[in-house]
Chains A and B, each alone.
Chain A
């Protein structure tokens, strides 16, 4: 069964901490994505990557960075966590051309910054 695995389901961090959210996929997908999901705002794209060591800003990149050193792993980094980054974070992957595939999502990480 193909999977996108997010390392933590629930995470509590303090304001100002550097936070790493990890995502690993086993489908050899080229594309990987990080979204945050907030009530009433739907899914908002933070960053995405089309290939190893490549990254593109999404709609809300401020306060975040990403790393993709290997094809299967895409990390989201909160450089200095703030309370307004409390949210559900979703990782997804897809083939280069969406075609019939769409995205495969991880189970999400619910991050609380206190």
Chain B
């Protein structure tokens, strides 16, 4: 069965520092991969997606992620953290059957310190 693992339930960075949120997936076939962001008391918003085109994917708010098949990873990065980036981030993958159902990781809460 497919799964998604996000390493670190909480990540804390200083404002202006690099943001790195880790995501590893298990999949027997090339998947579709997604990162979502959730601000307090809101729903999830799509940040970016990998759909077998370019392996480096750029999203909103300066975030990007790189698909590395050899490492089965899809880590999310941002060169310089803003206070407004404080939120919970979810990585998700489609099952190989492409039934329309996403499998989510447990989420990583990003704290940005002034």
Q: How far is the CB of B71 from chain A (nearest CB, A)?
A: 22
Partner-binding segment picked from B20-28, B79-87, B97-105: B97-105
Is B61 an interface residue, CB under 8 A from the partner?
no
Is B9 an interface residue, CB under 8 A from the partner?
yes
In Å, the complex CA distance between A103 and B102 comes to 8
Interface size on A, residues (CB 8 A): 30
**What is the chain A residue whose CB lies nearest that of B44?**
A105
A98 B102 Cβ-Cβ under 8 A: yes
In the complex, chain B residues whose CB is within 8 Å of the CB of A106: 43
B105 A42 Cβ-Cβ under 8 A: yes
In Å, the complex CA distance between A63 and B96 comes to 30
Q: Contact mask B87-101 → A, CB, 8 Å, 1/0?
A: 000101010001111
A102 B42 Cβ-Cβ under 8 A: no
In the complex, chain A residues whose CB is within 8 Å of the CB of B49: 100, 102
Q: Contact mask A81-108 → B, CB, 8 Å, 1/0?
A: 0000000001010111111101111111
A-B pair number, CB within 8 angstroms: 68
Is A13 an interface residue, CB under 8 A from the partner?
no
B43, B92, B98, B99: the one contacting A102 at CB < 8 Å is B92
B32, B42, B46, B99: the one contacting A108 at CB < 8 Å is B42
A41 B100 Cβ-Cβ under 8 A: no
Find residues 15-55 in chain B having any chain A CB closer than 8 Å to their own CB.
Answer: 32, 34, 36, 41-46, 49, 51
A43 B98 Cβ-Cβ under 8 A: no
A40 B9 Cβ-Cβ under 8 A: yes
A108 B41 Cβ-Cβ under 8 A: yes
Is A74 an interface residue, CB under 8 A from the partner?
no
Is A110 an interface residue, CB under 8 A from the partner?
yes
B106 A41 Cβ-Cβ under 8 A: yes
Q: How far is the CB of B7 from chain A (nearest CB, A)?
A: 14
**What is the chain A residue whose CB lies nearest that of B50?**
A100
Task: For the A-B complex with A6-B43, A97-B100 known, give 5 more contacts whose Cβ atoms are closer than 8 Å.
Answer: A33-B101, A50-B100, A90-B43, A102-B49, A106-B43
